[in-house]
Chain A
Amino acid sequence: MKFKTFAAFVGPSVFLMLLFIAAPLISVFVQGFYLTQPIYETVEVETCTPGFPTQTCVTETKTQPVIGEDGKIITETKYVGLESYRNLLEPDRALTALGNWDWGSLLTIDFWKALRFTLTFTLVTLPLVIGLGLAIAVVVNNTARLIRGPVIFVSLLPFIITPVIGALSIRWLFIGDGIMTAFLEWWLQRDIAMFAQGWTIELLMMFYRVWHVAPFAFVVFYAGLQTVNQDTLESAVIDGASRWERLRYVVIPHLMPLIIFIALIHLMDTYRAFEEIVGFSSQAYRISLQWLTYDLLVPDDSGNRAISRASASAMLTMIGIVILLVPLLRRTWRDHRGGSH
């Protein structure tokens, strides 16, 4: 292909990627090093508010931003280097805690607490999603052709549900005396409160994520199963391979690229866990990195928000994903190079 034609084809998509992916990333990266603050002045202000039976007025010194000629708050932006990262990571405290092998006090720092949960959540759900997806795919592949359509449709349903709605539904099943909690209480003959401690919420969140994502793995694996070489399978049968051996030595090696693909997508998605935290309102016990970024960005009652720290948190989340993906990407790269020889 001529370079000109190539450029004409690729140009628009490169431009859009630069505009919508690279530019925001760079902007977030830069914002992590700067701090924009209003300039404040202290003034005596008399404030009158409703009271019983008459108004109460108090005079107090208030810190309020200076408003410029144009009616906007005057702000100044200064370079703070890695301070936002330091505020987020609290390296001194974290190192002291690590030095004393004091796991508990490390986890009282928001970032490390979020990292701990995010990593566990990601790494525990990964094998479950792949295993369950594969199991459903194999089962569906072996069901009678007649009912296969409806079975596929039903298996896909959890994936179609909007994540937050799905999380809320599970929460309502279990919160307080929800149907499921009531059932468990009746079954086990004991009082159960699923939302009163961290680990039960964490289990529910993992259950929800696996339930939600496994259908995606299933569909991909099911498509893969249709391309398994039937001759190889038949010769394996003739060689006396059991069902398990056929799965282990013929089907799974054939599906390996798909398994890696699912693992990549799952790691990227799950590391950004957010819906679960909001849906299960687990903030008191479990927070994720993405939720931490969100929490820093949300303005409080008085309109304050920590944009610089939020940028730092977002960058750290991205770095975390990249680190997790490296082993898988290296493998794909190796396979790719090996295949081209």
Chain B
Amino acid sequence: MIFKKLALAGAMALLSSAAYADCAFENTVPVKSISAGFEAWKAVTDAMAECGNVEAELDQEFRKKQPAAFAANPSLYQIGGVANGTLVPLLNEGTIRPLDDLVAAHGQNLTPNQLIKIDGEVMAVAMMVNTQHLMYRDDILSDLGIAVPTTYDEVLAAAAKIKEAGVVEYPLGGTFKTGWNLGEEFVNMYFGFADSMFADDSMPTINNENGVAALEMLKKLTEYMDPEYLVSDSTYVQQQFQQGKIAIANLWASRAGAMNDESESQVVGKVKMASAPAAKAGGRPASTIWWDGVVIAKNITDEEAEAAFKVAMEGLDEEMVTANNDIAVWLIPGYVPGDLAKGAADTAINGAVSYPASSQMGLMHTALGNGVADFLTGAKDAQTTLADIEAEYITAAKEAGLIQ
């Protein structure tokens, strides 16, 4: 009995402290959201929770749950956090609703740049962009008289100099963990050399000189990395930076803020951001641009959808951005681009392509993520690696019905 009372009191205390703090309206419809779990999503969902009756699930593996959860009727979540890639299955299955009416009614604070339009219909509202760009130790580069590299050849030259000077353990860092991360590294590099990975009939076209060039550049970079690069993900590279073990890395913009986090970082103020390097001189940055944003489920009542959208708008308002200015490159009005955003902005301005998300790309990304490591470890040569990746893609695409 006492336990019950205590639990009740605890629940009440939680409710009263969390709810209705800074929200413009009082939300009475229960709303649940599922999204990735990085810093920006935490800020956004915290701001949503101020409206009350909001339950946010932050999960880095959300992509495995989201399509099935949204396909349920009624949908298990009202709000979904998506990126370029994870929007595809929701669009394909038609489990998210067009937002034009809701944007007209409640989206007066949104900028046109935020509206993700598919065939003229608003399907998602973007909140931030994310891209892998150059982060470098300004102090080391200026000590050694190295200019900020703009191409990967310059990165290699800089790495050689840094290695010779012996100021850090490993000159370079990289998100080369087998699987999604490594696939993304290849995609970034490949789009620095070429325009497309597919022919018109969904057949792969990566087994060519561009693919080989991309693979070889990745391998050259690994020579300056911690030999355990095949298990190093974004968090690992971020920590290598924070602990002063590496000098240069092409890392996600969403990790930039952590460099100046005094509780974790030993290099506060020493890491600067620049555009992702080009794969070849005069080419575009070898990186792809991602956006993160929110979608609203289709299989819910209009009333729920309206409440969910209003709550989401509260999460994406100026107040939230002002409080969390430096943790992401926000697209929301009120954002003041600081030094940390320079890399992402320059990467985009220099012409990096948007990540070309599609069903085919999903399969290709997986095949790359599992296949590229064989070249880096020396198990296969470049041609065989690419041929095997293409074969794996074709098998998967045939199974999925994308290729007849």
Binding site for B on A (CB under 8 A): 35, 37-40, 45-58, 61-65, 67, 71-73, 84, 87, 104, 107-108, 110, 175-176, 193-198, 281, 283-285, 295, 298-304, 306, 308-309
Question: Quick check: A193 and B113 within 8 Å, CB to CB?
Answer: no
Question: Quick check: A193 and B402 within 8 Å, CB to CB?
Answer: no
> How near does chain A come to B366, taking the closest CB pair, in angstroms?
5
B227 within 8 A of A: yes
How far apart are the CA atoms of A40 and B201 in the complex, in Å?
Answer: 12
B112 within 8 A of A: yes
Contacts of B67 in A (CB 8 A): 299, 303
How far apart are the CA atoms of A228 and B244 in the complex, in Å?
Answer: 61
Q: A62-B358, A283-B179, A303-B88 are in contact. Are A175 and B228 (CB under 8 A)?
A: yes
Per a CB cutoff under 8 Å, which of A54, A284, A285, A303 touches B113? A54
Q: Mark B108-139, 1 if CB is under 8 A from A, else 0.
A: 00001111111110000010010000000000
Question: Quick check: B399 and A309 within 8 Å, CB to CB?
Answer: yes
Contacts of B57 in A (CB 8 A): none
Binding site for A on B (CB under 8 A): 63-64, 67, 71, 84-86, 88-89, 91-94, 112-120, 126, 129, 177-180, 182, 200, 202, 226-231, 236, 289, 291, 298, 331, 345, 348-349, 354, 357-363, 365-366, 370, 373-374, 376-377, 379-380, 384, 388, 395-396, 399-402
Question: Quick check: B370 and A295 within 8 Å, CB to CB?
Answer: yes
Contacts of A302 in B (CB 8 A): 85, 88-89, 92, 357-363
- Taking A38-B400, A48-B118, A301-B365 as known contacts, 20 extra A-B pairs with beta carbons closer than 8 A to each other, sorted by chain A number, are A37-B400, A40-B402, A47-B116, A47-B118, A48-B117, A50-B114, A50-B129, A51-B113, A55-B115, A58-B354, A73-B93, A87-B395, A197-B377, A198-B377, A300-B365, A301-B361, A302-B88, A304-B362, A304-B366, A304-B400
Per a CB cutoff under 8 Å, which of B71, B359, B370, B380 touches A63? B359
Contacts of A193 in B (CB 8 A): 226-228
How far apart are the CA atoms of A108 and B360 in the complex, in Å?
Answer: 24
Q: A51-B348, A71-B94, A195-B231 are in contact. Are A301 and B63 (CB under 8 A)?
A: yes
Per a CB cutoff under 8 Å, which of B129, B331, B365, B401 touches A40? B401
Per a CB cutoff under 8 Å, which of B93, B119, B200, B229 touches A303? B93
How far apart are the CA atoms of A53 and B337 in the complex, in Å?
Answer: 12
Could you pull out 14 A-B pairs where Cβ atoms are within 8 angstroms? A46-B119, A50-B126, A50-B331, A51-B289, A63-B360, A71-B298, A87-B395, A175-B228, A197-B377, A284-B230, A301-B361, A302-B359, A303-B92, A303-B359
Q: Closest A-chain residue to B127, C-beta based?
A: A50
Question: Quick check: A57 and B117 within 8 Å, CB to CB?
Answer: yes
Contacts of B182 in A (CB 8 A): 284
Per a CB cutoff under 8 Å, which of B202, B227, B349, B373 touches A284? B373
Q: Closest A-chain residue to B394, C-beta based?
A: A87
Per a CB cutoff under 8 Å, which of A55, A104, A306 touches B379? A104
Question: Quick check: B63 and A299 within 8 Å, CB to CB?
Answer: yes
Contacts of B202 in A (CB 8 A): 63
> How near does chain A come to B389, taking the closest CB pair, in angstroms?
12
Contacts of A54 in B (CB 8 A): 112-113
